[in-house]
Amino acid sequence: IQEAASDKEEDEVEMPIKELQKVTEINGTNQVNWTEYIASMYEGIDFLPLNITDNYEIVVENKEYFKSLAKILSETPQQILELTLWWKLVDLILPYTDTLMRDINQRYSGVVISRTMFCTKVVKSVMKMVVSYIISDEIFSDITFKKVENMVRNIRTAFYSMVESADWIDTNTKTATLEKVEDVNASIGYPDWILNSHELEEYYDGVEVNGTDFLLDVLWILELSMTDELMLLGSEFTQQGSIIDPLEVNAYYGNQENDIMIPAGILLFPFYGLGLEALNYGNTGSTIGHELTHGFDSSGWKFDKSGNLRQWWSNSSIAEYMNRTQCYVQQFNDYEIDGFVVNGTNTLPENIADDGGLRASLLAYQELVKKNGVEPKLPGFEDFTHEQLFFLSYGNAWCETWTTKYLQDMKNDVHAPQYFRLIGSVSNFEEFSRVWNCPKDSAMNSNQEKCKIW
């Protein structure tokens, strides 16, 4: 089932639940009644936003995964299935039990943190909106908001130019794609409602924190979070950003919303506010470009500007696009470290997004310099050009160390290890070789084909 999940070569497909029922049928029988299963997820929720029937339309990302799942469910003894589910539950709540169990968990993961850091991470994770409310004035300002808005606008304009310059896409498909680029929206910082104490109280209504049973308190909050996500199904897409942690150091793109979500957490030092725009664009800018490119990666291109999953590209453009993706697949299939081999197919959308995001952010910065003039030199780094500082900032964002457990977990991840994401993206980028004077056929400027879509 892991292999089926990691080899996502199939298109996402929209289908009624009853069709999924047929997909998972084994010898005329089914191990799961999918209509009942989905409906059961809403048990205990006062308001049911969906009328879940056999005809309800769902999006299936990988039919082979569900076929493999059905086969495993039909062949595995009931006792083993039950033990597996119980272990998944134990694994989830283990960190919130007692010191002995937390120590076992940390030794297994290979990551040991202090009790203070653990408690801080838990409070931030389970009470994310409250923590954001408390420190919102300290972490965010109108000035930051306006600067990031301008950055998003500049990167969107740069990506628009990249699509315009693409010579492999036909005129009608290009026009429709440019319209989608123009419609990309950005949600920056945090939702306004968390600054309203009354609305914040309503959000946590029903949560009973007793202060004496840590595990029970955490379970209350986890139940609230899951209910929140379930309530989004069938609701307006614009509500998507309401459940994202404002302090998370990450960013997101929603295919159905055509919206980039940029939490306040990634707009803090050392990711943003680095003094020079060369540094800001190299780090945060490339992240914003990455998320924007997700709207046009190997999954995102299937959704039109309104978030509908349908064929809106011509057959010829689709064929050429898919042909170009194979360059990335082969490139990343060749990456290996400590016995771990990257899956180029599984990581394809992220690798395309890294590539497009880096290109769009540098182009946006170059256009900014044309408009506003060259920035001052960075003290202590006077020998570096601003474009070199851009790439240094980009590279700094990918610094990491890894454990054996980390590499094991990466087998199921849609991201390649960060080291390969870095060298993969810059080695495809002619501008990197130009800026750093990389010799022909060197590690970062090989004679092999450089992958490029946008």
Q: Is 216 contained in some domain?
A: no
pTM over 0.85: no
Q: Are residues 43 and 174 located together in one domain of the fold?
A: no
Please say if the pLDDT value at position 136 is more than 80.
no
Q: Exactly one of 304, 350, 354, 355 is catalytic; which is it?
A: 354
Q: Are 41 and 232 in contact (CB under 8 A)?
A: no
Using 50, 70 and 90 to split pLDDT, how confident is the model at 59? confident
Region 181-210 average pLDDT: 86
Q: Among 262, 347, 352, which Cα is nearest to 300's?
A: 352
**What are the tokens at 425?**
């993206």
Please say if the pLDDT value at position 116 is more than 60.
yes
* More confident of the two residues 29 and 351: 351
**What's the pLDDT tens digit per position in 270-314?**
889 888 999 999 999 999 999 999 999 999 999 999 999 899 999
Annotation marks residue 164 as catalytic: no
**What's the pLDDT tens digit per position in 390-423?**
999 999 999 888 888 788 888 888 999 999 999 9
Q: Are 281 and 361 in contact (CB under 8 A)?
A: yes
Beta-carbon neighbour count of residue 234 at 10 Å? 12
- Structural domain for 276, as ranges: 137-205+227-436
Q: Is 107 contained in some domain?
A: no
Q: Are residues 403 and 323 located together in one domain of the fold?
A: yes
Annotation marks residue 441 as catalytic: no
Q: Are residues 151 and 66 located together in one domain of the fold?
A: no
Q: Is 193 contained in some domain?
A: yes
**What are the tokens at 191?**
């939702």
Q: Are residues 65 and 160 located together in one domain of the fold?
A: no
Of 60, 76, 92, which residue constitutes the final position of a domain? 76
Q: Exactly one of 217, 277, 291, 320 is catalytic; which is it?
A: 291
Please say if the pLDDT value at position 354 is more than 80.
yes
| Model pLDDT, residue 376 | 96
| Model pLDDT, residue 239 | 47
| Model pLDDT, residue 442 | 92
Give the count of domains, the chain: 2
**What's the pLDDT tens digit per position in 218-253?**
888 888 778 877 777 656 544 444 567 888 889 999
Calpha distance 315→355 (Å, rounded): 24
- CATH number, domain of 153, equals 3.40.390.10
Calpha distance 229→237 (Å, rounded): 12
- Is the CA virtual torsion 163, 169, 170, 174 positive or negative? negative
Q: Are residues 311 and 174 located together in one domain of the fold?
A: yes
Q: Are 300 and 259 in contact (CB under 8 A)?
A: no
Region 101-127 average pLDDT: 85
**What's the pLDDT tens digit per position in 20-53?**
999 999 877 778 899 999 888 877 776 655 678 9
Q: Are residues 271 and 410 located together in one domain of the fold?
A: yes
**What's the pLDDT tens digit per position in 100-113?**
888 888 888 777 88
